[in-house]
Amino acid sequence: MAIRTIREEDDEILRKKSREVEVIDEKIKTLVDDMVETMHKFDGLGLAAVQVGVLKRIVVIDLYDDKGVIVLINPVITKEKGKQIVEEGCLSFPNKFAKVERPEQVTVEALNINGEKIKLTGKGLLAQAIAHEVDHLNGEVFIDKIMPGTLEIVTPESQEK
């Protein structure tokens, strides 16, 4: 396992659409392990493969609860329900936070790390994380969805106040 470099806001790869994973082989499993390790190292709740420079439709999410890490390969959101206004940040946009409107509940279909089809319904924070990470796979970033006037840039100096 290895810590991968997180691509940041000016990197054009973040605006590209990721490709489906055709085969879940050892290379893909290693990528997933590296993504989980990288996400944990930077205290993220989710990470898409594109954020580490790989245009594959892979997402990892960890809400740091008893469910552990969720791996979604080729995820497709099949249902959205309700709306929630949430405070959001992103590992690719360090120190930037803003309010974004997300679905209150989403249902996603994907493959797990063993290539088995799974269906998952998430509410609240999990719905937010799934929607945020699937956006990444489509070349969309949260900074484009922020509610006007809510962007905050947090610097070490601003935290001291």
Amino acid at 104: E
Per-residue tokens: 160: 């001291």
Query: Which 8-state DSSP code applies to residue 52?
Result: G
Among candidate residues 89, 93, 132, 126, the one with its CA nearest the CA of residue 107:
126
Rounded to an integer, what distance in angstroms lies between the CA atom of residue 4 and that of residue 101? 29
What is each CA distance from 18 to 56, 57, 74, 121, 123, in whole angstroms?
5, 5, 9, 23, 25
Asked about 116 being catalytic, the answer comes back as no
What is each CA distance from 123 to 71, 84, 85, in whole angstroms?
17, 10, 13
Per-residue tokens: 32: 């997933």
Rounded to an integer, what distance in angstroms lies between the CA atom of residue 61 and that of residue 81? 20
Catalytic residue among 26, 88, 116, 133: 133
Active site residues: 133
